[in-house]
Amino acid sequence: MAPNNEPALFSTFHVGDARGTFSKPYSHAFGEVPFTIRELFWSTSSRGTVRGMHLQLPPAAAAKLVWVSAGEIVDVLVDVRPGPSWGAVHQYRLSADEGTALLVPVGFAHGFQAQIDDTIVNYAQDREFSPDHDAGINWRSAGIEWPLPVSSTSARDDALPAISDFESPFAGPQR
- The span from the CA of 128 to the CA of 39, in Å, is 6
CA distances to 18, 69, 118, 135 from 72, in Å: 20, 9, 9, 25
CA distances to 13, 41, 124, 173 from 120, in Å: 18, 10, 14, 31
54 catalytic per annotation? yes
**Which of these is catalytic: 14, 26, 92, 123?**
123
pTM score over 0.75:
yes
26 catalytic per annotation? no
Q: Residue-wise pLDDT tens for the chain (175 aa)?
A: 444 588 877 667 777 788 777 777 766 655 666 678 899 999 999 999 999 999 999 999 999 999 999 999 999 999 999 999 999 999 999 999 888 899 999 999 999 999 999 999 999 999 999 999 999 999 999 999 999 999 999 999 999 999 999 999 997 775 4
Q: What is the phi/psi pair of residue 115, to 5°?
A: -100, -15
- The span from the CA of 113 to the CA of 116, in Å, is 9
Q: SS3 for 115?
A: coil
- The span from the CA of 71 to the CA of 146, in Å, is 16
User: Domain residue spans in the chain?
Assistant: 3-161
Q: Please give the CATH architecture assigned to the domain spanning 3-161.
A: Sandwich (2.60)
**Which of these is catalytic: 26, 28, 54, 133?**
54
Q: What is the phi/psi pair of residue 52, to 5°?
A: 130, 175
Position 1 scores a pLDDT of 41
- The span from the CA of 63 to the CA of 101, in Å, is 13
